Amino acid sequence: MQITFLLNGETTQYSLSDASVTLLDWLREYRGLTGSKEACREGDCGACTVMLSDATGSRAINACITLMAQLHGKALRTVEGIGNSAAPHPVQQALIDQHGSQCGFCTPGIAVALAAAHLNGEHDHDAALAGNLCRCTGYAPIIRAAESAAAQPVPDCMHEDAKALAATALAQISSGGCGGADSPPAYLPENADDLAAWLLAQPSSTLVAGGTDLGLAVTKALKPLGEAVFLHRCADLQQVTTSADEIRIGAGVSIAQLLRAMAKPHPAFAALLKRFASPQIRAMATLGGNIANGSPIADAPPVLIALGARVHLRRGDVRRQVALEDFYLGYRKQDRTPGEFIEAVTIAARAPNLRAYKLSKRFDQDISTLCAAFNLSAKAGRISEARVAFGGMAAVPARARKLEAALIGQPLDDIAEGAVSLSLGEDFAPISDFRGSAAYRMQAAENLIIRYARDLAGEAVSVLEVAS
């Protein structure tokens, strides 16, 4: 299989014989582009940040957990391609002028993350840098550099990829179908029908969506992917459609795309997604992958469950749907047969009382210790329907059915007082792990009930709302 893409403006071909080769390894070891650094190798530090562009725009991503097949038809720009010593990119010059680099190991990744944000006209520099760790300079000079570069024009080279992609029709070039004469095959389907047919014939293939969980299996657990099918070219799985009652979200919708799509109908969901990992991870990670990975501490499932989500599954041409809370059968066990994949998720279009809270050790770029989502409806002022779901309290994301029952019938605008006596003791028996003890989880989860009640009453409950 031929993977064709633009690398710093040049059309580049790569013969894919092993689906597990990461972009960072290829750049550094085979291509000699060592500007992108290898540090954590798990998408956490941003030292390997590069910029990926396609018809939908440009975004910073982590090269260390991106697989070569994910580049097909796209344009890649590494730190070597955003500027050079004769004509540095404005953020590179500003990092020098503002003393934004000390040991310099993080600097190439920071320069590319800021260059991508600069190209997109993003001025929330903290948000742009949430996926970039700097240990020795400290962020103040780096933010000063971002601020001073903001008014500078975008260099021409940063606009070239979009033009070249359109001119070369690169995105339409065939990858040559299935690759792997001497190794496990890899396949890049163009739509959900192709994907369904492949998975029906090869049910043991690894389905790769954004690869932000699977990439770690390769780089950390050292488990090769084997036979792999990649979902990122299935544009029909990347649609968000809204009707009067529901929103349908394709499984291939990225978390970044979902964040934008939820801003209006479900701002509480969008606010939670802002804290999902980092811009680099959100650009690649998909909603389908978040659900199918089945982590009890994944961020999206509690909110989706609170929104009455139904998972739309497909095997060949056979489709069925299941409530998300019933999809999870046990720790990392799902109601999904071999060859079956998630095609979409549907959620309620309206939920004015939806709120979601994530507790983690760091504000940005951290997995939840606990995640809670509340969605109450009322008739004649009294709670008539309650959907409350937690992540991090059990082996799977789950509803708090006893709590829900206790809420039914209570006056909606006066739950703050009663909230202190509501308990989760009959719903959950959480475990202790390195993220939090069982006692902490229970206490914190019960505190979130009070937080929700106060939030509904209009009090400021987010750390971002508290001003000195």
Contact positions vs ligand FES (CB under 6 A):
38-41, 43-48, 62, 64, 101-107, 134-137
Candidates 180-188, 276-284, 398-406, 413-421 — which segment interacts with ligand FAD by CB under 6 A? 276-284
For the beta sheet containing 10-15, the strands, ordered from the edge strand earlier in sequence to the opposite edge, are: 10-15, 2-7, 75-77, 49-54, 57-62
DSSP 81: G
Of 397 and 430, the one with the shorter C-beta distance to ligand FAD is: 397
Of 112 and 309, the one with the shorter C-beta distance to ligand FES is: 112
CB of 110 to ligand FES, least distance (A): 7
The interface mask with ligand FAD, positions 41-60, x = CB under 6 A, is -xxx----------------
Of 101 and 219, the one with the shorter C-beta distance to ligand FAD is: 219
* H helix or E strand, kind and range, residue 333: strand 333-334
Residue 311: φ, ψ to 5° = -95, 130
Candidates 5-13, 17-25, 275-283, 317-325 — which segment interacts with ligand FAD by CB under 6 A? 275-283
Residue 208 binds what, of ligand FES, ligand FAD, none (CB under 5 to 8 Å, by partner type)?
A: ligand FAD
Q: What does the chain come to in residues?
A: 468
Candidates 40-48, 116-124, 263-271, 444-452 — which segment interacts with ligand FAD by CB under 6 A? 40-48
DSSP 414: G
Residue 36 binds what, of ligand FAD, ligand FES, none (CB under 5 to 8 Å, by partner type)?
A: none
| Residue 320: CA count within 13 A, CB half-sphere | 10
CA 387, CA 385: separation in Å to the nearest integer? 7
Question: Sign (positive/negative) of CA torsion 254, 260, 265, 271?
Answer: positive
Residue 341 binds what, of ligand FAD, ligand FES, none (CB under 5 to 8 Å, by partner type)?
A: ligand FAD
- Residue 284: left if φ>0, alpha if ψ -120 to 50, beta else—which one? alpha
CB of 385 to ligand FES, least distance (A): 42
Residue 35 binds what, of ligand FES, ligand FAD, none (CB under 5 to 8 Å, by partner type)?
A: none
**Would you count residue 288 as binding ligand FAD (CB under 6 A)?**
yes
Site for ligand FAD in 107-166 (CB under 6 A): none
* DSSP per-residue string spanning 99-123: T--SS-SSHHHHHHHHHHHHHTT--
CA 430, CA 371: separation in Å to the nearest integer? 13
CB of 139 to ligand FES, least distance (A): 9
CB of 104 to ligand FES, least distance (A): 5
Among 5, 341, 357, 374, binds ligand FAD (CB under 6 A): 341
Beta bridge partners of 358: 371
Question: Sign (positive/negative) of CA torsion 296, 298, 299, 304?
Answer: negative
CA 275, CA 258: separation in Å to the nearest integer? 13
Q: What residues have CB less than 8 Å from 168, skipping those under 6 apart?
A: 6, 11
**Would you count residue 23 as binding ligand FAD (CB under 6 A)?**
no
CB of 345 to ligand FES, least distance (A): 28
Residue 212 binds what, of ligand FAD, ligand FES, none (CB under 5 to 8 Å, by partner type)?
A: ligand FAD
Q: What residues have CB less than 8 Å from 92, skipping those under 6 apart?
A: 82, 83, 111, 115
Q: Which two tokens stand for residue 286?
A: 């998909």
Site for ligand FAD in 198-257 (CB under 6 A): 206-214, 216, 231, 251
Q: CB–CB of 144/85 below 8 Å? A: no
CB of 297 to ligand FES, least distance (A): 20
Site residues (vs ligand FAD, CB under 6 A): 42-44, 206-214, 216, 231, 251, 276-277, 281, 284-286, 288-290, 292-293, 298-299, 341-342, 367
